[in-house]
Structure 1
């Protein structure tokens, strides 16, 4: 990530921070849908839902190509996919049977926790890189 410009790193940080907000809203909407037995929207059970949420759209776009080879990024991508797959599984079960199994919900919560944890770690790495780039820029000006 050190090969990125200061502005590119700030953009990554901005996206990581926004993804937290976006995914918290997605999570709240999912839980509300399941608990209140609302009609299950296509964004939860459609084809490739992990690519259709706002974070997924960025994750699979050209704007993230410079991060694709980072191990932390690859891990986040996998965790994001698993979280959405787990949500889809709960929603499909709810739609077909009218309820969610406890072990499906527990698995989903584990995926959510791991995704949040890794996003937080990635954010701290981005902040650290940003600080190094800033320090390097200051030293170059001296």
Structure 2
């Protein structure tokens, strides 16, 4: 499976930017440590140095710096990801083959060219696997809006199309909503764009913490956000968003160390129809948003397919 296919299969997972960046840094450090370990191993084999005790251990893959990081990750950190699992498998193989080379050397026998080539091939495969994992994580970063931490438009078309097809096949409800900040331009004009950015970030944090794990938020553009509610009907989604809209309106948002503002949002939504494309569904949700704006803003409106 190539990385693009793997990315498309995994992109629906709601991993935040804050989770991904530390992993990327750790993987980079892991490659540096791996290169250093390979260097020491070659010196041991060529210069007849005394092998490291850890390298002769049956659990050497747990004792090296990369292994301590890899096996120390929490259960929520990509442990079910195929690329992550492959990396771990190759890491074990590298250490097993390195141990075999060292044991051969200690026994006074010559290391065969076949065994050495097998080790170096596996070591290179491990490096490629780590680089593939880095590329996969970078792909996820590229699909995330760096300001708010929600998905951006690069991920939107695939993810909405996937949910649209799932709803069509299963017959289950799926709701799509568009949310727009009321008078957001006034905040930027009066308080500056940094204040506006804080409003967007704080508001998205507010929604992410209150929605289900499998509800999805995208930054559609500027101060417009698109929300997707799988296996939810418009009645339930509208009640939920109306409750959150009211709660948000009462919540002061810090835009400087000493100044707070209150904001309101308008929301338009519609239920996905198996007969309509997802682009048509977005247009219908946008019609409902226009209706919400026309009705005085700060409200939720539903576009009825019928």
State the TM-score, normalizing by the size of structure 2.
0.44
Match among 21, 26, 32 for residue 37 of structure 2: 26
Indicate the larger mover: 94-103 or 75-84.
94-103
Partner in structure 1 of residue 96 of structure 2: 85
> 1 CA distance for matches of 2:76 and 2:52?
29
Partner in structure 1 of residue 62 of structure 2: 51
Stretches of 4+ aligned residues off by more than 4 angstroms: none
Partner in structure 1 of residue 51 of structure 2: 40
Deviation at 1:66, TM superposition (A): 2.1
Deviation at 1:63, TM superposition (A): 3.6
Count of aligned residue pairs for this structure pair: 142
Other structure's SS at 1:117 match: helix
Other structure's SS at 2:145 match: helix
Partner in structure 2 of residue 7 of structure 1: 18
* Greater RCO, 1 or 2 (C-alpha within 8 Å, sep 6+): 1
Sort the Cα spacing of 1:92 and 1:133 in 2 relative to 1 into closer, same or farther, 3 A: same
State the TM-score, normalizing by the size of structure 1.
0.91
> 2 CA distance for matches of 1:27 and 1:59?
18
Q: Which protein has the larger Cα radius of gyration, Structure 1 or Structure 2?
A: 2
1:57-68 alignment runs, 5 A limit: 57-63=68-74, 65-68=76-79
* Structure 2 gap ranges (5+): 1-9, 153-217, 224-306
Other structure's SS at 1:38 match: coil
Deviation at 1:64, TM superposition (A): 6.3
Across the aligned residues of Structure 1 and Structure 2, the Cα RMSD in angstroms comes to 1.9
Partner in structure 2 of residue 131 of structure 1: 142
Whether the 8 Å contact between 1:58 and 1:64 is mirrored in structure 2 is no
Partner in structure 1 of residue 112 of structure 2: 101
* Structure 1 gap ranges (5+): none
